[in-house]
Amino acid sequence: MSLSKLFCDKSAAFSAKHERRKEARPGELLDAALDLFVEKGFAATRVEEVAAHAGVSKGTLFLYFSSKEELLKEVVRHNISGHFKDWNNQFECFQGSTAEMLGYCMSAWWERVGATRASGISKLMVCEARNFPDIAAFYQQEVIAPGQALIRRILQRGMDRGEFRQMELDYAVYSVIAPMMFLILAKHSNGVCVQDQAEMDPKKYIAAQLGTILHGLSMPPGDLAQPAENARA
Amino acid sequence: MSLSKLFCDKSAAFSAKHERRKEARPGELLDAALDLFVEKGFAATRVEEVAAHAGVSKGTLFLYFSSKEELLKEVVRHNISGHFKDWNNQFECFQGSTAEMLGYCMSAWWERVGATRASGISKLMVCEARNFPDIAAFYQQEVIAPGQALIRRILQRGMDRGEFRQMELDYAVYSVIAPMMFLILAKHSNGVCVQDQAEMDPKKYIAAQLGTILHGLSMPPGDLAQPAENARA
Amino acid sequence: MSLSKLFCDKSAAFSAKHERRKEARPGELLDAALDLFVEKGFAATRVEEVAAHAGVSKGTLFLYFSSKEELLKEVVRHNISGHFKDWNNQFECFQGSTAEMLGYCMSAWWERVGATRASGISKLMVCEARNFPDIAAFYQQEVIAPGQALIRRILQRGMDRGEFRQMELDYAVYSVIAPMMFLILAKHSNGVCVQDQAEMDPKKYIAAQLGTILHGLSMPPGDLAQPAENARA
Amino acid sequence: MSLSKLFCDKSAAFSAKHERRKEARPGELLDAALDLFVEKGFAATRVEEVAAHAGVSKGTLFLYFSSKEELLKEVVRHNISGHFKDWNNQFECFQGSTAEMLGYCMSAWWERVGATRASGISKLMVCEARNFPDIAAFYQQEVIAPGQALIRRILQRGMDRGEFRQMELDYAVYSVIAPMMFLILAKHSNGVCVQDQAEMDPKKYIAAQLGTILHGLSMPPGDLAQPAENARA
DNA sequence: GATGAATGAGGATTCATTCAT
DNA sequence: CATGAATGAATCCTCATTCAT
């Protein structure tokens, strides 16, 4: 069964009005700012660098953003995906098993978020949350909450359908979130998470994590078949 | 009274408060610096704050650390545990199942690292790695590499003993690491990872993640028994 | 009206005040810096003072000079005259007696260097040479060496033409240099060289020193005897 | 005729009382301070360096000198020679020609001042006079004035005895002072005055300057003539 | 709108001076 | 007396922000 068949047709309706104003403002500045904030941190990034990366002068930046902090806020707003409405819709229509749904979710997330520049937002928020509580709260409300809610619904669906074992959702959600967050950090933290980043294939990583999430590392219980004649010394 | 007694007394009484302070200063400063760097980031932390948190003046800090950057380096060095030798030894002697071993490991890690202030180092490194590549490399070599190696050995043991299924270790290690890293971030990122941090019990979190890691979320295959037409309570 | 006229007008009117300032700034800063460095020494001069003397703010100074030390270097470079090429040319064409030439030289030096603010450079170099060996070496190469060379040529001319007695040039050059250097110090050292600086007329000083250099203090031998019909072509 | 014969026996009587207190204070500190102030300038010298050079701790320095500036004052006071009383006495008894007297003076100055560490005082004063007008005034009064007075007396003696030509003493004194000051600067200014300091022999330098001062650079008129045991009444 | 020169508050660092031991 | 740890005012330098062109 192809994945595309699994969904109904309701496509997402984008919020048009609020976006318009921001679209008018040089997206290059927001992109440059995101890249640099992620790379060097907010405090260590100079607005002049941001402007230079966007190909404009320092003064121009302040034409569009009243302050460096306001720029950060806009960066966060601009990079917060409207994916959730879409994804929630897709959840409603999904026909396959919950395992498939979870796999689809993680792949889709990687393609639409993780692999893009927008993924840096998460690292940025992790690093700057303490300094900008209001931005953190906004992010938490716009991204974390809907994200966790979606995953909860998926896991609940699995439990409801007898596919997943009974579990405490408050903790189980992190089994899905943690590997994705880790992948983002690995991508943005210069070897602090993974030894040789170039060696890591994100798709294989996601596949492997999905495998663990679904089945764990342990030998399937019934699967007594291959004993492993090895054992300890 | 012997001469040596005289000398001992003298040296013992030698400069009580002043000396004690001098011994204690660097450690107090390192602790304060760790806390603040983790909380606010390196660039956004003022040395004067660090000094104040350690109960000394700005100038005193520079008596012990030649620069703010050197302070950061020392913070990292100082907080890098020598746990791995110990843990590797324990690995050698461990008698129980590999699942138990993994559970023991994660709990021990939480108690000795995760729950302590030292855990902040990981968040700090994630945030500052790009700005301080040499420190990141040092951390990677002293912490990341040995940590991953230990986990690989554990997983390999599980596979060798037929407890764990065959897996590609290069990716499987992250099934263990990601949840722990996530826990640290949750602790230090002001709600950006978990909605209500106060609600989360780290021990339950670790238990839950261990459960997932070992057995996955899926219903055990043979266990088809109770399909659960239920839904929750 | 031709197109070129339009362009000319436009470019001529282009940014009047702002640009003019920008052109002028570095020179004003260099002048202020020279004055203050000479007056108070490099270390005792604050960059803010320099900026204030040039009528700009602290930050502006750093727009043009990357550091206080770089400012010093530029001060030296900027004040090192290209007089030597000119003077060497004049040496070649000079027709009069070598005594006249020496007198002309000392007067010209006074007018073009000694009496100007540039004279402070020499005092500055004397005072700061130990702290900035590379600048000292540069000054030595650009000023001291050519200066001594010129004087040697003059003295040599005098000897060659039988006007001057045979002398060891390595030491004789200082008979010319020392009085000029002394005059500079007198000008800049607040009474440490001469008791009442206001009383001293530099032209009379130079005339007097030239007299000594040429004829010494001693009574002309024989005096009476004969005016010296010797020498010169 | 040996030089020693030229003098009568009045030796100098040292001022005993005021010296006593200063003698009690570590001369090492004053010596170290002089060396460093001369080498690096007052502002650029750290009191800790002075203390270290004198082999004591920073705190000890402040036991003897209430401030860095007071240290400078004491350095100047300590290094101001009491030579003038002695030299003035010698002037009174000198039997030889004034040319001999001048030569003796310059040699004696070199041996007792110029060649010693004390010579640095002059360079120090030249450099710091603007920043410490009161010290400069003190130095001027204790050293410059008596020094110039002595030289004036010598030149006057030469004129009175018909050995020297008539000259304006206000300017003529500098013919003697400038070469000596220059020698000091050459010694302390790291190549800014003389190209290769190592090459210069101070005694030859002084002999050469004395030659110029006495007879000038010009060919003796008539040459032929000789000695001319003075002229004019 | 765009520019970039100018600003000055803010932060890292130094160092003269103090003072408990 | 001597020490050297501690201090904090002073100074260099940075960089977000303003504004005249």
CA distance B180 to A183: 13
Coil/strand/helix, residue D94: coil
CA distance C65 to C75: 10
Q: Could you tell me if residue C155 is inside a domain?
A: yes
For D182, name the nearest residue in chain C, comparing CA atoms only.
C178
* Shortest CA to C1' contact from D60: nucleotide: F2
Write out which nucleotides of chain F lie closer than 7 A to a protein Cβ: 1-9, 11-21
Contacts of C212 in chain D (CB under 8 A): 172, 175, 212-213, 216
Say what the pLDDT of residue A221 is: 65
Q: Does residue A202 share a domain with residue A127?
A: yes
**A76-105 confidence digits (pLDDT tens):** 999 998 889 999 999 999 999 999 999 999
pLDDT digits (tens, 9 = 90+) for C85-98: 999 999 999 999 99
Regarding whether B94 and B35 lie in a shared domain, the answer is: no
Instruction: Determine whether the interchain pair A43/B44 forms a contact, defined as Cβ–Cβ distance below 8 Å.
Output: yes
**CA pair distance C27, C74, nearest whole angstrom:** 10
Token pair listed for C63: 């727009």
pLDDT in tens, D178-200: 999 999 999 999 888 888 877 89
Q: Which of D40, D190, D213 sits opposite C136 (nearest CB)?
A: D190
- Whether CB of B59 is under 7 Å from strand F: the answer is yes
Q: Where are the alpha helices (DSSP H) in C41-119?
A: 47-53, 58-64, 68-79, 83-93, 98-109
Backbone angles phi, psi at B11, to 5 degrees: -70, -30
pLDDT at D49 over 60: yes
Chain B stretch 136-155, residues whose beta carbon is closer than 8 A to a beta carbon of chain A: 136-137, 139-140, 144-145, 148, 155
Per-residue pLDDT of C115-138, as tens digits, reads: 999 999 999 999 999 999 999 999
Q: Which nucleotide does the CA of A66 lie closest to, via C1'?
A: F17
Look over chain D and give the mean of its residue pLDDT values, rounded to a whole number.
85
Q: Which of A166, A204, A230 sits opposite B162 (nearest CB)?
A: A230
What residues contact B41, with CB distance under 8 A and at least 6 apart? Answer: A41, A42, A43, A44, A127, A128, A130, A131, B127, B128
* pLDDT band at residue D223 using 50, 70 and 90 as cut-offs: low
Q: According to the model, what pLDDT value does residue B20 have?
A: 54
* CATH code of D143's domain: 1.10.357.10
Name residue C208's amino acid: A
- CA–CA separation, B125 vs B136, rounded Å? 6
- Amino acid B22: pLDDT: 66
Tokens of D217: 């650079």
Spanning CA of A46 to C1' of F17, the rounded length in angstroms is: 12
CB contact at 8 A, D33 and D22: no
Q: Tally the domains of chain C.
A: 2
Residue D223 lies in a domain: no
Q: CA geometry: angle at A154 spanning A149 and A157, to 5°?
A: 120
What is the least distance, in Å, from the CA of C23 to any CA of chain D? Answer: 32
What is the residue-averaged pLDDT of chain B?
A: 86
Asked if D56 and D77 touch (Cβ cutoff 8 Å), the reply is no
Report the distance separating Cα D137 and Cα D131, nearest Å.
12
C164, β-bridge pairs: D218
- CATH number of the domain to which C52 belongs: 1.10.10.60
Taking the C1' atom of every nucleotide in all shown strands and the CA of B13, the nearest one is E21
Chain C residues inside the 8 Å CB shell of D177:
182, 193
Q: Which residues of A touch B209 (CB under 8 A)?
A: 171, 174-175, 178
Residues 59-78 of A with CB under 7 A from strand F: 59, 62, 66-69
- Whether residues C60 and C103 fall in one domain: no
Comparing every residue's Cα with the C1' atom of nucleotide E2, the nearest one is: A60
Token reading at D181: 């000051």
CA–CA dist C192, D138 (Å, integer): 10
Q: Which two tokens stand for residue B73?
A: 């380096």
> A95 and A47 in one domain?
no
Span A173-184, pLDDT tens digits: 999 999 999 999
**Terminal CA-to-CA distance of chain A, rounded, Å?**
46
Distances (CA, A) of D115 to C182, D38, D50, D112, D143: 19, 14, 22, 7, 17
Query: Are C185 and D222 an interchain contact pair (Cβ–Cβ within 8 Å)?
Result: no
Domain co-membership, A169 together with A101: yes
Low-confidence ranges of chain B (pLDDT < 70): 1-22, 221-233
Domain membership of residue B226 (yes or no) is: no
SS3 C14: coil
Q: Which residues of A touch B215 (CB under 8 A)?
A: 165, 215-216, 218
3-state helix, strand, coil in chain C (%, to 5): 70, 0, 25
Q: What does the block give as tokens for C61?
A: 């100074």
Of the candidates A168, A180, A185, which has an alpha carbon nearest to the alpha carbon of residue A212?
A180
Query: A117 in helix, strand or coil?
Result: helix
Task: Identify which of B70, B121, C217 has the alpha carbon closest to the alpha carbon of residue D212.
Answer: C217
* Contacts for B168 with CB less than 8 Å, ≥ 6 apart: A204, A208
CA distance D178 to D158: 19
Place of tokens 């050292």: C189
- For residues B138 and B113, the answer to whether their CB atoms sit within 8 Å is no
Residues in chain C: 233
pLDDT for res A223? 54
Find the Cα–Cα–Cα–Cα dihedral C35, C36, C40, C41, rounded to 10°: -90
Nearest to B41 among A41, A133, A228 (CB): A41
pLDDT over 50 (residue D216): yes
Q: What is the length of chain A? A: 233
Q: Has residue D114 been placed in a domain? A: yes
Q: How far is CA D7 from CA A23, C70, D96, D128, in A?
A: 100, 56, 9, 37
Task: Assess if residue C224 is contained within a domain.
Answer: no
Residue by residue, pLDDT tens for chain C (233 residues) are 443 433 333 343 334 455 556 677 789 999 999 999 999 999 999 999 999 999 999 999 999 999 999 999 999 999 998 889 999 999 999 999 999 999 999 999 999 999 999 999 999 999 999 999 999 999 999 999 999 999 999 999 999 999 999 999 999 999 999 999 999 999 998 888 887 777 889 999 999 999 999 998 777 765 544 444 443 43
| C170 and C121 fall within a common domain | yes
Cα–Cα dist D179/A194, whole Å:
72
User: Tens of pLDDT along A36-92?
Assistant: 999 999 999 999 999 999 999 999 999 999 999 999 999 999 999 888 999 999 999
Q: Residue A167 has which token pair? A: 């579990």
| Residue B15: predicted pLDDT | 43
Segment B35-77, tens digit of pLDDT? 999 999 999 999 999 999 999 999 999 999 999 999 999 999 9
Residues B172, B169: Cα–Cα separation, whole Å = 5
Q: Are A213 and A121 in the same domain?
A: yes
Task: Concatenate the DSSP letters of all residues of B160-228 into one string.
Answer: HTTSB----HHHHHHHHHHHHHHHHHHHHTTTSSSS-GGG--HHHHHHHHHHHHHH-SBPPGGGGS---
Contact B131 A220 (CB under 8 A): no
- Quick check: is C232 in a domain? no
Report pTM: 0.86
For residues D93-118, give the mean pLDDT: 94
Residues A123 and A151 in one domain: yes
**Per mean pLDDT, which range of A128-132, C7-11, D138-142 is the poorest?**
C7-11
User: Are residues A92 and A26 part of one domain?
Assistant: no
> Does residue C184 fall inside a structural domain?
yes
Beta bridge partners of A164: B218
C182: exposed, middle or buried (C-beta count within 10 Å: 0-12, 13-18, 19+)?
A: buried
Residue A191's pLDDT is: 86
| pLDDT score, position D25 | 65
CB C69 within 8 A of CB C132: yes
N-term to C-term CA, chain C: 66
% of chain D at pLDDT higher than 70: 84
Q: Domain for residue C108, yes or no? A: yes
How many angstroms separate the CA of residue C201 from the nearest CA in chain D?
Answer: 9
Same domain, yes or no: A109 and A187:
yes
Same domain, C62 and C115: no
Same structural domain, A62 and A28:
yes
CA distances from B213 to A39, A109, A178, B202, D188 (A): 32, 21, 12, 16, 76
CA distance D216 to C158: 12
The confidence score (pLDDT) of residue A26 equals 85
Show which of residues 99-138 on chain C sit within 8 Å of chain D, judged by CB atoms: 99, 122-123, 125-131, 133, 136-137
pLDDT of residue A24: 59
Closest CA to A225 of B168, B158, B156, B162: B162
What is the Cβ-side half-sphere exposure of residue B149, based on CA atoms within 13 angstroms?
A: 11
- With the CA atoms of B1, B2, B3 and B5 taken in that order, what torsion angle do they form, in degrees rounded to the nearest 10? -80
User: What is the identity of the amino acid at A45?
Assistant: T
Q: What are the Cα distances from residue B94, in Å, to A233, B91, B110, B172?
A: 13, 5, 19, 21
Expressed as residue numbers, the domain containing A145 is 80-218
